[in-house]
Amino acid sequence: SQTIHQWPATLVQPVGSPLSLECTVEGTSNPNLYWYRQAAGRGLQLLFYSVGIGQISSEVPQNLSASRPQDRQFILSSKKLLLSDSGFYLCAWSPQDRGAAEAFFGQGTRLTVV
Amino acid sequence: GQNIDQPTEMTATEGAIVQINCTYQTSGFNGLFWYQQHAGEAPTFLSYNVLDGLEEKGRFSSFLSRSKGYSYLLLKELQMKDSASYLCAVTDSNYQLIWGAGTKLIIKP
């Protein structure tokens, strides 16, 4: 069966510090991968999605970046965090061979920038 | 632009029935999803509709009308554990998921 791992679960970082959140998927090949952010009481905002290694699409201009160094690894990064980067970050995957497929989510990372 | 609307918050009584509505305007349509999200946790899949009509799964049912751009999630025999946010999401013509802001459902004893 397929599983998705995302870490860490919680993170407190000072303004201006770097960020690296990692997500890995097991049990499937060539998945679509996504990074979402959810502000308190708000819906999911798509940040990045990837259909393959090295292929990253950005939905929202910001000081975050994403990379996919391996087929089932997706990394969210920032060189310098802002206070506005605080939120709940979710990694998700969906099968690529099914056009309209449900997304499966990792446990999420609660990021607080102080 | 693409837009999904659902009520911000609803309150219902344990054992009752509640209907959460979702209307959407998207560039194309390839399916509608309902997810449940408990506070501080990731969303979990509830249902998927791509054709008009009602899909029933235990205590939960989801309805779709593509011509009206409308869906609802029906929860029967409400339990306290059903207190959560319910997210409506639509897959557009590019197979990208467009998310609503979610409806916070509060269940009272």
Q: What is the pLDDT of residues A61-82, one digit of tens each?
A: 678 999 999 999 999 999 999 9
Beta carbons of A107 and B42 less than 8 Å apart: yes
What does the mean pLDDT of chain A come to? 89
Helices (H) and strands (E) in chain A, counts: 0, 11
For residue B13, give Cα distances in angstroms to B9, B20, B51, B79. Answer: 14, 14, 31, 9
Q: Per-10-residue mean pLDDT for chain B, 109 residues long?
A: 91 97 94 92 91 94 97 98 95 82 95
Give the model's pLDDT for residue A111.
Answer: 94
A46 has a chain B CB within 8 A of its CB: yes
pLDDT band with cut points at 50, 70 and 90 for residue A40: confident
- The rounded distance, in Å, linking the Cα atoms of A36 and A73 is 15
Please tell me what DSSP assigns to residue B30.
Answer: S
pLDDT of B95? 74
3-state secondary structure of A103: coil
User: Which amino acid is located at B12 in the chain?
Assistant: A
Question: Higher-confidence residue: A90 or A102?
Answer: A90
- Quote the minimal CA–CA distance from A91 to chain B in Å: 9
Shortest Cα distance from A79 to chain B (angstroms)? 26
| Closest residue in A to B102 (Cα–Cα) | A43
Chain B residue whose CA is closest to A105: B42
For residue range B48-60, list pLDDT tens digits in order. Answer: 999 999 999 999 9
Chain B: residue whose CA lies nearest to A89: B42
Dihedral, CA atoms, A95, B5, B35, A21, nearest 10 degrees? 60
